[in-house]
Structure 1
């Protein structure tokens, strides 16, 4: 059933959701931010790492599953499930050898699931408010515990995750997990919360729509109603279940996670979740202190000290304590879901507290509004934001053969001051797989985009598990669309399973094409994390060559230089599915001067495969090098 709606469609088509709150909140925050940002923003206080980071996102439930049944709506017994224990030292070393520095274990916090864990004291979840059989990882039920599906022994599930943290660190990798601050599961019940911690909503005044220290918004006098299904949808695919009765007890009804204020949300709303109240009134006005003038230029210590003197809404404290709980357990950072649906002032409070506990914590936010990027970096103290809107969204049509690389030039210019903070990706759990027919139909079409994404800036690069072997996401498993690997149901991931090779993690069952693709990723990512030039300067070569080589260099090629004192690179990519004619690539005099090159001839070595060699000729301060690129080929040429 075609029931998947991406978060971008459901939330950042923000005007399309029934959330006057969010619209008003953003408007108010923008006014606040523009008032604070009248002076020139200083560069990010963040100290850049010595080399680039590469994040490997794994959907934890799917990673280690060797079961190939893939029955739609299949149970955990029928389709299998991966475990924390599947991340063996062998598996982790193979991930590290791919060229990875951080693993984002997606779906770790205990979220609503259909599998019966009542024997362990866990309440059963209602299929009427759970998406899929395995549940959405973004409907968290207990923030102080982990998904029992992932444990060999559900009683020891937290200890098993702690052991995984230790194994990951022993492999030389950093650990990231999700925090979903905007919404939680409708049936939130924490069994493992520390002493003195109160569950969300326990002390709320439910007789009013809003109170500052309520954790939720309410629809007083109305009970929650399960949304009317679309397209013949039935929970669990129509399988009989004692709780699948089109009823879920919630009185009064709470606002839904995407901001819907209706007691009966629409089926395309995030009906399995409820929205958290951060002290934003229903009219969008803010019921908490705002940051003083000039705080965009202040460091996280100053932000922490400011909030230490303020009275903040209860939800702020709850989420801060959740983050610090996991930092204390050794988690190295977080991916924050739909961060822009939460006030930027909260992020100042939250992230400054995290940084006080671990100054090196890696803080990544899912943000889709480029106009607010700088607010969430400078005021919200985020390290990294998704670079989806603009960069990914411009690369995707190029990969599909219907876009132009010309757009990338203005994007680079527009975000030059925050380029380090904009994480790049081509695959993730929300996006279509590159190899899916709905996207590009061939994983090789992602190769030039991978080179550009990984080398154009100093920012981290993210790879989604299975991307490196051409996973196409074609399985229709229940709740969700093919083209995206399911995040709602139990499944095996075929191409990834061939690499996993029954737990050997050696690629023993890959096809030759899949093996070659992974080899490409391994070469590129390892170069990415070792190159000095990729943490250095950038110079555009595209515009001048579109003019100087208009017959041979088209908007299906893209070229630029990256350089440092110790390494100088020329990177040329071909997005076309045909070989280019010879291109006499022009390197302008100002770039040659910035790179510290003088007149003469320089030998160039290709860094990924070491097979291609060319020469750079500099005459009267201007450079020229001849290149020919095969279909979908990229060259990373280093000056010897």
Structure 2
């Protein structure tokens, strides 16, 4: 199934969590008295994204929220911790001037407990104008209470069985598409019925037929979700897990098994692939520096729409923990400009540029299939082949000692590492 957005067919995304990246206070004791123009800091990094080889900017939540961005308070307003509407418009314009598409994060599964409409609904009762939007237990012990998202008391569910939530979702997605964004990541899409998404997607496509829609799906039937919901693609968490755990456990059979499943998915849609994002431990912490470069080599030589999480291209480390503030280590503030980063990450940056450049020189990789040539616990050689069978690359992974990766042309010529590039394990 082809994507509705032609630009996504050869896209490489640079993924940024704006609140952390721009140094906004995540759990402020009190609201700042006026908007702070922190989003402008991101504009200074757009040339870095272009030099990396990215063609799109995938942004975490930018809408007004209480703390981390996923407890939304107003879907139609920029978070004042990031700045003003003018700051947002300027960022989109600056991206488009550089040929970068912009994809936003839509949190439509739930809202923050302090959302004004929810507060009004709880106060005014089930017959109030706002009540239909939310999933509220009106007979809860102690009084009416919203049903919460995955046990998080600060996150209140929308009522996805009703028309109000559908109309709200369409209004939100269309509003920002009208403002110039090119697509959406649908947060926690797995937690919302696919018939809800099917209605919303159909309505959005009536006015924005070329919008790219990415659903966050962690487990389950990825292809079935795409078929039933109408989205273009979903997050390929199976491959993410197989990459790092096969490297860490020295069990490359896991990677081969998952790549075979990945090829089956490619028969139906092009998955969104990654080895790092704002919700998981950094790949360099999971697999080490050398393992992270091997993971990158896999990411850039298999089918998919790959994303690079900001900081991974400089070898950032960070461990996610299951506690309040447990995401902070993987969502750090960045300096005002790329030139202020420590120099020790430059060789990792060059590896990213080289491998992304290799991918962009071989655009058929977006829909390529893989086939095993040689396989053991610690050595895996695969061919990645164009969907039409007309081109191929050979990828050699070895984790017997220090993790290593080599990418070769079909004739055996070494394409990566280049003689001046960092070698995974070298």
TM-score range, shorter chain: 0.7 to 0.9
Are 2:85 and 1:158 equivalent residues in the alignment? Answer: yes
Is 1:313 the counterpart of 2:268? The answer is: no
Structure 2 unaligned segments of length 5 or more: list them.
none
1:445 paired residue number: 291
- Higher relative strand content: 2
- 8 Å CA contact retained: 1:405, 1:558: no
**Cα RMSD over matched residues?**
3.6
Taking a change above 3 Å as real, the CA distance of residues 108 and 386 of structure 1, as seen in their structure-2 partners, is same
Corresponding residue pairs, total: 414
Counterpart among 606, 619, 626 of residue 414 in structure 2: 606
Tell me the secondary structure at the aligned position of residue 280 of structure 2: coil
Structure 1 residue 324 and structure 2 residue 170: aligned?
no
1:423 aligns with 2:262: no
Cα distance change of structure 1 residues 99 and 203 upon mapping to structure 2, 3 Å threshold: same
**Distance verdict in 2 for CA 1:105–1:46, change over 3 Å:** closer
Change (3 A) 1:533 1:252: closer
- In the alignment, structure 1 segments of 5+ residues that lack a partner are 1-42, 113-134, 152-156, 190-198, 224-250, 259-268, 280-311, 547-552, 588-594, 596-601, 613-629, 634-640
Give per-residue Cα distances to partners, 1:522-541, cap 9 Å, x unaligned. 11112223313414542413
The SS at the match of 2:204 is: helix
Q: Pick from 361, 372, 376 the counterpart of residue 530 of structure 1.
A: 361
Match of 1:562 in 2: 385
Call closer, same or farther: CA 1:74–1:604 in 2, change over 3 Å.
Answer: farther
**What are the equivalent positions in structure 2 for 1:111-510 lying under 5 Å apart?**
111-112=65-66, 135-151=67-83, 157-189=84-116, 199=117, 206=125, 213-220=132-139, 222-223=141-142, 252-258=144-150, 269-279=151-161, 313-371=163-221, 373-388=222-237, 390-400=238-248, 402-419=249-266, 420-436=269-285, 439-440=286-287, 442-457=288-303, 459-473=304-318, 479-481=324-326, 484-486=329-331, 492=333, 496-497=334-335, 502-503=336-337, 505-506=338-339, 509-510=341-342
Distance 1:399 1:460, change over 3 A: same
Alignment of 1:61-72 (within 5 A): 61-65=19-23
1:16 match = none
SS at match of 1:149: coil
TM-score computed with the length of structure 2 as normaliser: 0.85
Say if 2:302 and 2:366, in contact at 8 Å, map to a contact too.
no
What residue in structure 2 maps to residue 293 of structure 1?
Answer: none
* Structure having the higher Rg: 1
C-alpha separation in 2, matches of 1:375 and 1:71: 36
- Say which of 389, 395, 412 aligns to 1:571: 395
SS of the aligned residue for 1:367 comes to: coil
Distance 2:153 2:168 in 1: 23
Structure 1 pair 456–83 and aligned structure 2 pair: CA distance change class (3 A): same
Which one has a larger percent helix, Structure 1 or Structure 2? 2
Q: Is the 8 A contact 1:52 1:530 kept in 2?
A: no
Tell me the CA shift for residue 578 of structure 1: 3.6
Distance 1:56 1:271 in 2: 31
